[in-house]
Chains A and B, each alone.
Chain A
Amino acid sequence: MALLELRGLRKQFGGLVAVNDIDLDLEEGEIRGLIGPNGSGKTTLFSLISGFLRPTRGKIIWRGKDITQKPAHSIVKEGIARTFQLTTLLKDMTALQNIVIGFHLHTGMGLFEQVFGGSGRRIKESAVVKKAEELLIAMGIENIKDELAGALPHGYQRELNIAVSLASNPALLLLDEPTTGMNPVETQGLMDKIMKLRDERGITIILVEHDMKAVMGTCKKITVLDFGKKIAEGTPEEVSKNEEVIEAYLGR
């Protein structure tokens, strides 16, 4: 049984079919590449899997459980986290505070304790802060701990976004173009960090990327979308030689 199964997944906005009957099987421990030209439905697919959008048709099966109708916050509880194409951070808070918010589901405190708790609450809050600091170190960005998120350089913001999504302790991480705006050196650095995270934490990853070198180097298996449909799936070599894929990217 695959970790994640998509069956006939379809998303329609009026007349526009953004995701067109997609079947996909994802095994645990994979770093799967998801590529395709702009508008091919990659981000929509992420939004469907992560519960930000409801599918028009089809099923999403996670660890054998049907999670198709679940809303976003429930899907995070199931163990699927995502990042966004545009940086979404609390701009007026520090990097550390952003990650602390990321631990929302794992503070160990109920609502009452969050308001009226005494020393027990303080201890739990300190534990969260400590875990947040550890995440910063794991991502290699502990130097920006007390900087305001809105003031950070773009590359740091992207890495902070990943750190925040890791706070929810996901089993599956959906990374949406994490290397946007990064130069080749930064890109490679981030790809190395992502692989290290997969090895250390056993996280399965789906990576949407436009940087072909990054994808081909990091992912053993790649799924290619075009106009919402899956047009190819295989190893980087197979996919780069696939005629339909070449046409999709060059023929426009």
Chain B
Amino acid sequence: MGRNPSRRVISLPIIAVVLITLPFILSRYYVDLTIVFFAHIILAVSFRLITTTGDFSLAHVPLMGMGAYTSAIISKQLGWPFWISLPLAALASTLVGLIMLYPLLRMKAFAFFIGSYAIGEALRLSWIRIGIFGCHRGISGISHPLLSIPCLGVLDFSGATPYYFLTLVITGLCLAIMYRIERSRISDSFKAIHSEESLAKSVGINVTAYRLLAFEMGTFFAGISGVLLAHYFGHIDPHQFDLTTGLYLLIWVVVGGYTTFAGPIIGVTFFTLLGELMRPLGAWMPLVYGCILIISLLFLPDGLEGLPKRLVPLIQRIRIKGGEK
């Protein structure tokens, strides 16, 4: 409801140019990093979509893993191409998410948070227990996407640069769809459920159905995120989708902010850059993350997305002081 798109229209072509030239400028390591960055953006924005109804789900990362595992199994056991395993894996994630919701929808707020952790962890443990998922070792040798175009031959996406563009396009599509959802009446209903549930019910909003809708939509994109990572690195294991990753996701979204669409994107960007700058700190990284989270909660309760609003009065005060001289 009413945000000005003009700022984004100006910077979009610049961002587009930067994004297109990046893989040719950066080293292989940084292209890898950017691919992971894109997958994390999809993960964080889809997580935030679910939070608009007030549900914070620690099952989000395990459901990302469900997408990764499903696509890995489909391509390895059935030999089906990436272009089929990707949508199927995303659907598999939503199906598993639906089963999870049966107990979860009875819970709210903190109970939902803890319950989602328990169910997500149960899913993750099932990968460790059930043979087809490869137990502790996970699944290796996941194939890279291939695209046969008639007359032009076969496009091999195993290289960093082609996969970068594949991820870029998929991320762009996912963000476009999620942005559409954000600007829609459905999102208004989600937010009404979060801020005044009685009001939402009293205008005829089916709270349970809408919570389910938000969760399923977010889970679908989490699944896609998992598939992207699985087919790039060729290997997945259950430890990639454990609580640590879930907590990092939570920190990105809390510090970046979750009341706007851009908040989680800001959070992921901030921590990706920070992660690279602080790489020498190695095992101390979680400590740094924790400190940043605490500082953020104390001084920036709206998250980084709220920074411009907080800086405006500060800048005005500096201007006035400058004028007085």
| Assembled-state Cα–Cα distance A114/B204 (Å) | 16
- Among A52, A83, A101, A105, which residue has its beta carbon within 8 angstroms of that of B188? A101
- Among A83, A91, A104, A164, which residue has its beta carbon within 8 angstroms of that of B205? A104
Further contacts, 5 of them, CB under 8 A, given A50-B202, A84-B198, A125-B185 = A72-B201, A83-B202, A115-B181, A115-B186, A168-B203
B206 in contact (CB, < 8 A):
yes
What are 23 A-B pairs at a CB distance below 8 A? A52-B198, A71-B206, A72-B202, A73-B207, A76-B204, A84-B198, A88-B202, A89-B199, A90-B196, A90-B199, A91-B195, A92-B195, A101-B200, A103-B203, A104-B205, A109-B185, A111-B213, A115-B180, A115-B181, A115-B186, A164-B199, A164-B203, A168-B204
| Assembled-state Cα–Cα distance A101/B191 (Å) | 11
User: Which residues on the A side are within 8 Å of B201 (C-beta)?
Assistant: 51-52, 72-73, 76
B1 in contact (CB, < 8 A):
yes
| Assembled-state Cα–Cα distance A78/B184 (Å) | 26
User: Which residues on the B side are within 8 Å of A116 (C-beta)?
Assistant: 180
User: Which residues on the B side are within 8 Å of A111 (C-beta)?
Assistant: 186, 213
The 0/1 profile, CB within 8 Å of B marked 1, for residues 74-102 of chain A is: 00110001111000111111000100011
B188 A88 Cβ-Cβ under 8 A: no
B204 A105 Cβ-Cβ under 8 A: yes
B198 A73 Cβ-Cβ under 8 A: no
B196 A89 Cβ-Cβ under 8 A: yes
B186 A88 Cβ-Cβ under 8 A: no
B59 in contact (CB, < 8 A):
no
- Among B184, B195, B198, B207, which residue has its beta carbon within 8 angstroms of that of A115? B184
| Assembled-state Cα–Cα distance A111/B192 (Å) | 16
Given contacts A97-B1, A107-B185, A115-B186, contact A76 B202 (CB under 8 A): yes
Residue from A50, A114, A164 whose CB has the most chain B CB atoms within 10 Å: A114
The 0/1 profile, CB within 8 Å of A marked 1, for residues 178-222 of chain B is: 001100111011011001101111111111000001000000000
A165 in contact (CB, < 8 A):
yes
User: Which residues on the B side are within 8 Å of A26 (C-beta)?
Assistant: none
User: Which residues on the A side are within 8 Å of B204 (C-beta)?
Assistant: 73, 76-77, 104-105, 168
User: Which residues on the B side are within 8 Å of A51 (C-beta)?
Assistant: 201
User: Which residues on the A side are within 8 Å of B203 (C-beta)?
Assistant: 76, 101-105, 164-165, 167-168
Q: Could you tell me the distance in whole angstroms from the C-beta of B189 to the nearest C-beta in chain A?
A: 7
Q: Could you tell me the distance in whole angstroms from the C-beta of A87 to the nearest C-beta in chain B?
A: 10
| Assembled-state Cα–Cα distance A52/B199 (Å) | 11
Given contacts A73-B207, A90-B196, contact A114 B202 (CB under 8 A): no
| Assembled-state Cα–Cα distance A17/B190 (Å) | 35
User: Which residues on the B side are within 8 Å of A164 (C-beta)?
Assistant: 199, 203
User: Which residues on the B side are within 8 Å of A73 (C-beta)?
Assistant: 201, 204-207
| Assembled-state Cα–Cα distance A101/B210 (Å) | 14
- Among A50, A88, A109, which residue has its beta carbon within 8 angstroms of that of B199? A88
The 0/1 profile, CB within 8 Å of B marked 1, for residues 28-62 of chain A is: 00000000000000000000001110000000000
